[in-house]
């Protein structure tokens, strides 16, 4: 395991430090606010969460599903607290209920409602879901894990920060297996290596 | 009528515990797949299941609070959880427990981060023998942590009581029914020792109350230890399994490198 496993209210460090995500200060000491792995690097104390919901953040690219079409706008579910609205003026292609889209969050207001832009439509494929806090592990350092998954399964992939993954073509069953493994073992180190081994093993199986 | 001996000459209670001993507690987090966070608890004979949902948009809209999340704690007892059948209709007692426990947890959760939402906590008691509100609250705080909801601290609860003049930790049903019984459920945030729930039945002197409160704090710290272990065990188990798997592969590789004939396999 990389870092120390902490639970809510457990001490991360007693030193003064810059604050990363999922920590808070009380009486000059830094504590974790969730179950996760505490890490301190380059003077920043942070906790990598192991569970949690998606909190929309400006700049995130998310995968949404069109919930319904109204007279002048579409309602899009981005797996957050509220549905988002996109005016029809912004999209030239007509969308229908159930269409898969990717969008960029441009603004999040004080009640965590997101404004979307840059809508792109996906044709075909399917949407897989994972826990939103594990998205960074699916992408990996310099997208190493993502490239590995693309090569290993032959799928076209698009990962949204909200825990939805759009996949088309290739070996989707194998992809699902790999994602389940990533979700289960996200708190352990050398994950990319282990996924690589798993994918190679599966390849040999299919060749036989 | 025969008189019940609450504490015998060896200092043991009716069920064989010492005065400052809890009943055995077992907590398992993540038991429900549909809930975002869940926990199952066995506290002596008490058994309870907790499911946490949210934070999600509060509906109907008029209950929303734009400054914070609402903590909706629902405590229910199964009809078969008590000696005689309990009416499934939520009674006065259940509504009261739901209210005070919800408020206790709201103290620990960072509610201000989730405006206009509710955090729903559903607790069902399947078997009971005194101290279910403490068991439920303990399990609920584990389930909240399991759901990844940001919290200042866990909430640990346990009861203290008096029977036949003895102050004792975590009284069972017989002790709660003693003629001079006092029952005091207590919940704290263990890091700061902030009290988030304190109720009391019966009449007690100031000195005795102080003694009981100190004993209760000690009990809560013990409960906290169990909660902590339960939450961490899930991840440590996976780590151990993987370590074993890696060890197994390494061993095989080592055997092969030492004895290359193994690869040819049965061609002798």
Q: Which domain holds residue B91?
A: 25-239
CATH of the domain at B161: 3.30.230.70
> Does any domain span residue B104?
yes
What is the C-alpha separation between B121 and B140, in angstroms, rounded? 7
Q: Which of residues 31 through 70 in chain B touch A, CB cutoff 8 A? A: 36-37, 55-57, 66
Contact A106, A115 (CB under 8 A): yes
pLDDT at B126: 97
**Beta strands, E only, chain A:** 4-6, 11-13, 18-19, 23-26, 29-32, 36-41, 44-49, 61-69, 73-77, 84-87, 100-108, 114-122, 126-129, 156-159, 164-168
Cβ-based interface (< 8 Å): residues of A facing B: 1, 5, 7-10, 22, 24, 26, 31, 33-35, 49-53, 81-82, 110-112, 133, 184-185, 187-188, 194
Of A7, A52, A111, the CB nearest to B231: A7
Residues 6+ apart with CB under 8 A from A158: A63, A102, A122, A165, A166, A167
Which residues does chain B have within 8 Å of residue A194's beta carbon, measured at their own beta carbons?
242
Residues of each domain in chain A carrying CATH 2.40.50.140 = 61-122
Chain B closest-CA separation from residue A2 CA (Å): 11
CA nearest A5 in B: which residue?
A: B232
Residue B268: predicted pLDDT: 42
- Per-residue burial over B67-88, b if 16 or more Cβ lie within 10 Å, else e, is ebbbbbbbbbbbeebeeeebee
| Whether residue B259 has pLDDT greater than 90 | no
Tell if the CB–CB gap between A133 and B110 is shorter than 8 Å: no
A49 contacts B148? CB cut-off 8 A: yes
Which pLDDT tens digit goes with each residue over B18-64? 999 999 999 999 999 999 999 999 999 999 999 999 899 999 999 99
CA distance B214 to A33: 27
Q: How far apart are CA B7 and CA B15, in angstroms?
A: 10
In whole angstroms, what is the distance from residue B110 CA to residue A91 CA?
Answer: 38
Chain B residues with CB under 8 Å of A82 CB are 57
Angle at A43 between CA A37 and CA A48, to 5 degrees: 20
pLDDT tens by residue, B85-108: 999 999 999 999 999 999 999 999
In a domain, B247, yes or no: no
Distance between start and end Cα atoms, chain A = 35
To 10 degrees, the CA torsion angle through B59, B64, B66, B69? -90
Nearest CA to CA, how far is A151 from chain B (Å)?
A: 24
A61-122 CATH:
2.40.50.140
For residue B147, list chain A residues with Cβ-Cβ distance below 8 A. Answer: 51-52
Mutate to test the interface with B, among A9, A113, A191 (most CBs of B within 10 A): A9
Q: Is residue B215 part of a domain?
A: yes
Question: Which residues in chain A are closer than 8 Å to B37, comparing Cβ atoms?
Answer: 51
Q: How far is CA B231 from the centre of its chain?
A: 11
Q: Is residue B82 part of a domain?
A: yes
Judge whether B80 is closer than 8 Å to chain A, CB to CB. Answer: no
pLDDT above 80 (res B261)? no
Rg, C-alpha atoms of chain A: 19
Considering only CB atoms, which chain A residues are within 8 Å of B238? 184-185, 187-188
Strand B70-77 to B46-57 pairing: unpaired
Question: Which residues on B lie below 8 Å from A53 (Cβ)?
Answer: 36, 55, 148
Higher per-residue pLDDT: A41 or B189: B189
B166 part of contact set with chain A, CB < 8 Å:
no
B93 contact A CB<8A: no
Give the minimum alpha-carbon distance from A75 to chain B in angstroms, rounded to a whole number.
Answer: 16
**Which candidate in B30, B148, B151 is best for mutational testing of the A interface (most A CBs within 10 A)?**
B148
DSSP A5-41: EE-TT-EEESS--EE-TTEEEETTEEEESSSEEEEEE
Distance from CA of B170 to the nearest CA of A (A): 25
Among B34, B75, B37, smallest CA distance to B157 is for B75
Q: What is the rounded CA–CA span in Å between residue B50 and residue B140?
A: 6
- The answer on pLDDT for B267 being more than 70 is no
- pLDDT, position A194: 86
Q: Which fold has domain A4-49?
A: OB fold (Dihydrolipoamide Acetyltransferase, E2P) (2.40.50)
Decide if B34 contacts B82 (C-beta within 8 A).
no
Spatial contact of B52 and B120, defined as CB atoms under 8 Å apart:
yes
User: Would you say how long chain B is, in residues?
Assistant: 268
Nearest to A51 among B117, B146, B239 (CB): B146
Best CA proximity match to A27, nearest among A5, A7, A45, A11: A11
Confidence of residue B242 (pLDDT cuts 50, 70, 90): confident
**Other Cβ atoms within 10 Å of A91 Cβ, number:** 15
CATH C-level class of A126-207: alpha beta
A163 vs B contacts (CB less than 8 Å): none
Q: What ipTM was reported for this prediction?
A: 0.89
Residue of B nearest to A31 (CA): B152
Q: Which whole-number Å values give the CA distances from A189 to A13, A192, B236, in the listed order?
A: 22, 8, 13
Q: What pLDDT, on a 0 to 100 scale, did the predictor assign at position B264?
A: 60
**CA proximity to A133, closest of A41, A10, A21:** A21
- Residue A198 in tokens: 């798993």
How large is the average pLDDT for residues B132-137? 96
Nearest-by-CA chain B residue for A21: B150
Tokens 């975590």 sit on residue: B170
Query: What is the count of structural domains for chain B?
Result: 1
Evaluate if residue B266 carries a pLDDT over 60: no
Distance CA A122, CA B232 (A): 40
Angle among Cα B126, B157, B78 to the nearest 5 degrees reads: 15
Quick one: tokens of B253?
């590789």
Q: Residue A114 — φ and ψ, nearest 5°?
A: -105, 140
Quick check: is B182 in a domain? Answer: yes
Q: What Cα–Cα distance (Å) separates residue A115 from each residue in A83, A103, A196, B57, B155?
A: 10, 10, 37, 17, 36
Q: What is the DSSP letter of B90?
A: -
Residues 6+ apart with CB under 8 A from A45: A12, A13, A17, A18, A19, A20, A23, A30, A38, A39
Residue span(s) of chain A under CATH 2.40.50.100 come to 4-49
Q: Counting Cβ atoms within 10 Å, is residue A173 exposed (0-12), middle (13-18) or buried (19+)?
A: exposed
Backbone angles phi and psi of A78, in degrees to 5: -115, 25
Q: Is B145 within the bounds of a domain?
A: yes
> Average pLDDT over chain B, rounded to whole?
91
Query: Per residue of chain A (208 residues), what is the pLDDT tens digit?
Result: 678 899 999 999 999 999 999 999 999 999 999 999 999 988 899 999 999 999 999 999 999 999 999 999 999 999 999 999 999 988 888 899 999 999 999 999 999 999 999 999 999 899 999 999 999 999 988 999 999 999 988 899 999 999 999 999 888 999 999 999 998 888 888 888 888 888 888 777 776 5
């Amino acid at each position: 395991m990389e870092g120390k496993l902490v639970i809510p209210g457990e001490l991360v460090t007693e030193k003064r430090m810059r604050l990363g995500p999922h920590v808070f200060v009380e009486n000059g000491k830094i504590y974790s606010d969730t179950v996760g792995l505490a890490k301190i690097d380059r003077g920043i104390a942070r906790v990598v969460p192991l569970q949690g919901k998606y909190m929309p953040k400006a700049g995130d690219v998310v995968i949404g599903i069109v919930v319904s079409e109204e007279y002048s706008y579409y309602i899009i579910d981005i797996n957050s607290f509220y549905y988002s609205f996109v005016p029809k003026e912004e999209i030239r292609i007509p969308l229908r209920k159930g269409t898969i889209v990717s969008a960029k969050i441009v603004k999040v207001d004080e009640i965590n409602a997101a404004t979307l832009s840059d809508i792109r439509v996906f044709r075909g494929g399917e949407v897989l879901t994972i826990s939103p806090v594990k998205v960074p592990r699916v992408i990996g350092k310099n997208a190493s894990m993502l490239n590995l998954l693309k090569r290993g399964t032959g799928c076209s992939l698009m990962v949204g920060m909200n825990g939805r993954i759009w996949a088309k073509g290739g070996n989707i069953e194998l992809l699902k297996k790999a994602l389940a493994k990533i979700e289960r073992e996200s708190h352990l180190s050398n994950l990319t290596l282990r996924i690589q081994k798993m994918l190679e093993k599966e390849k040999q199986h299919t060749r036989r | 009528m025969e008189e019940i001996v609450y504490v015998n000459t060896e200092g043991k209670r009716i069920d064989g515990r010492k005065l400052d001993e809890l009943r055995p507690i077992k907590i398992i987090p993540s038991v429900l797949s549909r809930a975002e966070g869940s926990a199952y608890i066995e506290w002596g004979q008490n058994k309870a299941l907790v499911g946490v949902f949210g934070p999600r948009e509060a509906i109907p809209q008029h209950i929303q609070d734009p400054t914070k999340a609402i903590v909706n704690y629902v405590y229910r007892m199964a009809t078969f959880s008590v000696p005689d059948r309990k009416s499934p209709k939520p009674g006065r007692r259940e509504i009261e427990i739901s209210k005070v426990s919800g408020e206790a947890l709201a103290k620990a959760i960072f509610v201000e981060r989730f405006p206009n939402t509710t955090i729903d906590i559903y607790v069902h008691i399947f078997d009971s023998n005194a101290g279910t509100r403490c068991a439920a609250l303990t399990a609920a705080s584990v389930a909240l942590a399991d759901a990844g909801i940001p919290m200042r601290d866990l909430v640990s609860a346990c009861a203290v009581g008096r029977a036949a003049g003895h102050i004792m930790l975590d009284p069972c049903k017989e002790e709660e029914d003693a003629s001079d019984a006092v029952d005091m459920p207590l919940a704290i945030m263990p890091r700061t020792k902030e009290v988030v729930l304190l109720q009391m039945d019966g009449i007690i002197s100031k000195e005795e109350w102080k003694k009981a409160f100190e004993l209760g704090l000690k009990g809560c710290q013990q409960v906290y230890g169990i909660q902590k272990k339960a939450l961490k065990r899930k991840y440590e188990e996976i780590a151990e399994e993987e370590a074993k798997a890696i060890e197994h592969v390494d061993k095989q590789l080592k055997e092969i490198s030492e004895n290359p004939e193994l690869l040819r396999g049965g061609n002798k």
